[in-house]
Amino acid sequence: MMKPFWRQLTAVAFCAALVAGCETAPVSGRKQLQLLPESQEVQMGLQAYQEILKKEQVSNNPEYNALVQRVGKRIAAATGEDYQWEFKVLEGDKTINAFALPGGKVAVYTGLIKFVDNEAQLAAVMGHEVAHATARHGGERLSQQMLAQVGVAATAAAMSNREPGTVQAVTALLGAGATVGVLLPYNRLQESEADRVGMVYMAKAGYDPRAAKELWIKMAQGSQGRAKPPEILSTHPADQTRIAQIEKNMPEALSYYKGGK
């Protein structure tokens, strides 16, 4: 009896993973399963970004745009990645969130800009989100959750044809789920890794990484008493666990901090 088609695809994907081997995340050195070539992941990230920009309102606030451009360029330079970086501010005063898609496509909501106390705290969030992109967490999730079931080629074809269901699912998997109404959380390991890598990036960019701890304490306090926490907190480790991990990783980040630029 022939196996169901999806089981055959799962077996093929598993074998492909064994042949392809593992990738390594920056800073942490963690081994990752990556079935998708980075070039294809970047293309999917670009398509997802373009779809988001069609639906979201891009802010024309000159102060906000100058701030995000300044912080973004410094964080981007710190990564060492030769991406086609883009930084956008999206309207959403109640949305305390930001995201970065594969290939360096970054967006920050006005709600986050109003929430942070200073530029260094904004750098902590942007560093965290950029770390998701450079560590290829979106591709890792695609490998684990989607491609093993429907295949790389089928996913790419559906994205090219702008099939709504696939575009929405891939966009969520790549890290911008809150903007399309589907929130597929990074796992807690990836979130902790993004905190660690992001702190290194912000420190290399000349921002005091101690601002990251200040920010996440502020985030935790801001979520108390709310029926629903800010989007950026909804899929992360417990507050005290996260702050403890940040404290543990602080000496590493401070070793890259040269006192500002």
Q: What is the DSSP string of 140-152?
A: HHIIIIIIHHH-H
In the chain, what percentage of residues exceed pLDDT 70?
69
Q: List C-alpha distances in Å: 108 to 89, 168, 195, 256.
A: 5, 19, 17, 25
Model confidence band, residue 222 (pLDDT cutoffs 50, 70, 90): confident
191 counts as catalytic = no
Cβ pair 114, 95 in contact under 8 A? no
Name which of 15-24, 83-92, 214-223 the model is least confident about. Answer: 15-24
CA 160, CA 231: separation in Å to the nearest integer? 29
| C-alpha span between 62 and 193 (Å, rounded) | 33
Phi, psi of 187 (to 5 degrees): -75, 165
Q: Residues 7-22: what's their mean pLDDT?
A: 48
Count the residues in the chain: 261
Cβ contacts of 186 within 8 Å, gap of 6 or more: 132, 137, 141, 175, 194, 235
DSSP state of 259: S
pLDDT above 50 for 23: yes
Catalytic residue among 51, 56, 86, 129: 129
Sequence letter at residue 57? Q
